[in-house]
Amino acid sequence: MSEKRTEISEIGEFGLIDRLHQKIKTQHASTILGIGDDAAVIEAGDHVKVVTTDLLLEGVHFDLSYAPLPHVGFKAVAVNVSDVAAMNAIPKQITVSIAITNRFSVEAVEALYSGINAACEHFGVDLVGGDTTSSRSGLVISITAIGEAQKEQLSYRSGAKESDIICVTGDLGGAFIGLQVLEREKQVFLANPNMQPELDKYQVVTARQLRPDARMDIVHELRDMNIVPTSMLDISDGLASELFHICRSSKVGVTIYEDKLPIDKQTFDTALELNMDPITCVLNGGEDYELLFTISQDDFKKLEKHKDIHFIGYVNKEEDGKHLVTKSGTAVELKAQGWKHF
Ligand code: ADP
Ligand code: MG
């Protein structure tokens, strides 16, 4: 009998990582946490280091027909910094590895690095190494970020407790809508190269897609207020999918309220223009790189008036499930679509 072949699409990206994870044993006491959170946690004397890595492929994660190389460089750093932020840690160093085809000139690689350098300055991180090699299928960028924190400052996905308040920063769905606009304009351009893309009206959403920021500002503010979120992650795959991660890791349920979900006006208007449901974009659109976190009720007063933090619901018992309360007051079961990579 032939060996069993399982399609990756049968178990999905998370299923695959889980399956690999089962066979991985860590050997060192200094490995405080391995696979399973936004970053690994490693003991380092009087503090801990967090380590995270992300891989970006041309044609999968970015399209150079509309993404300028400096933006691609900035984004590649920002998405890693965002995972460090999601641990409530401060990024310190990155390494950058690239694979390039001969389609890229020295100037093109320098343009990519101008964005990488701008991000290093913006986030206060040092670029300390990397690797350069050739590629047969476009540009590949792999960045690893290292951050620091005191052990008790870390926020894991697993710490949410019943009655905690669920918070999100900024607004959601913009990056997804920005991608739809960019793809639409690309198709228009391909059909008629004389047509100039009309992007002025969509600047907020296209910037969310092309040059996202990581919310280090929030991490610093929480520190200043002496708040350690009980759990935290960054919203890379969509709010619903990230809430599922908290539920699974913390063994809790959640209730969120549709009328509390933050959406920007341009995102809302453009979603309608594209015949999309804005709430679906908020729940399932990826790549916003905002922070999703939970705080204990005691900390609510300190954050209540914050202009860029929204309180979207609360944590329940696991057996109470995951629900979205619609504007009409009906509780519907929350579904996570997330990004399907396979
Ligand atoms: P994020 O979206 O926050 O970047 P991922 O969903 O990519 O996180 O990864 C979830 C966890 O699985 C992380 O701890 C990550 O380090 C780990 N992981 C992802 N891919 C692999 C892999 N191929 N081998 C080992 N660990 C992996
Ligand atoms: Mg993450």
Convert the pLDDT of each residue in 234-248 to its tens digit: 999 999 999 999 999
By CB atoms closer than 10 A (0-12, 13-18, 19+), residue 127 is middle
Give the number of whichever ligand sits closest to the CA of residue 286.
Answer: 1
Q: Determine the pLDDT at residue 199.
A: 84
Token pair belonging to 19:
């399956």
Q: Chain centroid to CA 13: how far?
A: 15
For residue 242 and ligand 1, the question of a CB distance below 6 A is answered with no
Least confident of 41-45, 77-81, 198-202, 262-266: 198-202
pLDDT higher than 70, residue 23 = yes
For residue 287 and ligand 1, the question of a CB distance below 6 A is answered with no
Ligand 1 atom 23: residue of nearest CA: 17
Spatial distance between the Cα atoms of 236 and 234, rounded to a whole number of angstroms? 6
Q: Determine the pLDDT at residue 193.
A: 83
Residue 129's pLDDT band, with cuts at 50, 70 and 90, is very high
pTM of the full structure = 0.95
Q: How far is the CA of 180 from the centre of ligand 1 (A)?
A: 26
The H-or-E segment that residue 117 falls in is helix 106-123
Query: What is the maximal distance between C-alpha atoms in the chain?
Result: 65
Quick one: which atom of ligand 1 is closest to the CA of 79? 4
Q: How far is the CA of 54 from the centre of ligand 1 (A)?
A: 8
Token pair belonging to 191:
């059909």
pLDDT higher than 60, residue 26 = yes
pLDDT higher than 60, residue 339 = no
Spatial distance between the Cα atoms of 242 and 221, rounded to a whole number of angstroms? 22
User: Contact at 8 Å (CB) between 299 and 227?
Assistant: yes
Q: What is the dihedral of CA 86, 212, 182, 242, to 10 degrees?
A: 10
Convert the pLDDT of each residue in 76-99 to its tens digit: 999 999 999 999 999 999 999 999
Rounded to the nearest integer, the mean pLDDT of the chain is 95
pLDDT higher than 70, residue 31 = yes
Convert the pLDDT of each residue in 296-308 to its tens digit: 999 999 999 999 9
- Other Cβ atoms less than 10 A from the Cβ of 60: the count is 12
Q: Determine the pLDDT at residue 1.
A: 59
pLDDT higher than 80, residue 337 = no
Quick one: which atom of ligand 1 is closest to the CA of 35? 14
Q: How far is the CA of 13 from the centre of ligand 1 (A)?
A: 9
Q: What percent of the chain has pLDDT over 70?
A: 98
Q: Determine the pLDDT at residue 287.
A: 96
Residues 107-125, mean pLDDT to the nearest whole number: 98
Quick one: which atom of ligand 1 is closest to the CA of 40? 14
Q: How far is the CA of 237 from the centre of ligand 2 (A)?
A: 8
Instruction: Give 341 or 147, the one with higher predicted confidence.
Output: 147
